[in-house]
Amino acid sequence: MNLTTDDADGKIRLDQYLAAHLPELSRSRIQNLIKSGDVLVNGSPAKPKNPVSRGDSITVRIPEPEPAEALPQDIPLDILFEDEDVIVINKESGMVVHPAAGNPDGTIVNALLHHCGDLSGIGGVERPGIVHRLDKD
């Protein structure tokens, strides 16, 4: 995606400018894209705090999401009901449901992959199975 700044006065930071012009991206996501070199200003990498001036050319590259491959783990489950279509468990308080940054394993999904062998996919490997919780704790 390419932007040419026609409304910048050199006083607004790059991350603020992009947050205002790309509302579909969070400011945190924009800062991470800048830091990873996926945002170029006039063909060069920039920093989030760099000022944007009128006529600057900004290129934003949004990489494809990296697939997260959840691995089966032998984690005990408190199973309340199970048939060939549904499994209902009593989730332990504090246990994370899906693997994510900071919690790559030890999750309900990891335990279910071990117990069930396979989970139906939503969007392929990126988020295996239909796993929902009914309450937070």
Report the Cα 33 to chain-centroid distance in Å.
13
Are the CB atoms for 108 and 96 separated by under 8 Å? yes
Q: How many domains does the chain have?
A: 2
Are residues 48 and 97 both part of a single domain?
no
Percentage of the chain exceeding pLDDT 90: 36
Same domain, 79 and 127: yes
Query: Is residue 60 within 8 Å of residue 83, measured between CB atoms?
Result: no
53 and 75 in a single domain? The answer is no
72, 129: one domain? yes
Instruction: Indicate if 96 and 129 belong to the same structural domain.
Output: yes
Catalytic, 135? Answer yes
Q: Which of 6, 78, 85, 135 is catalytic?
A: 135
Is residue 21 located within the same domain as residue 77?
no
CATH number of the domain that residue 93 is part of: 3.30.2350.10
Which residues span the domain enclosing 121? 66-137
What is residue 55's three-state secondary structure?
coil
Of 25, 43, 60, the one marking the end of a domain is: 60
Looking at every residue in the chain, the average pLDDT score rounds to: 83
Under the banding of pLDDT at 50, 70 and 90, the label for residue 124 is very low
Three-state DSSP state, 54: coil
Q: Please tell me whether residues 128 and 70 are part of one structural domain.
A: yes
In this predicted model, what pLDDT tens digit does every residue of 30-79 receive, in sequence order?
Answer: 998 999 999 999 999 999 999 999 999 999 998 876 666 788 899 999 99
Beta strands in the chain (DSSP E): 2-4, 9-13, 39-41, 44-45, 51-53, 57-60, 79-82, 87-89
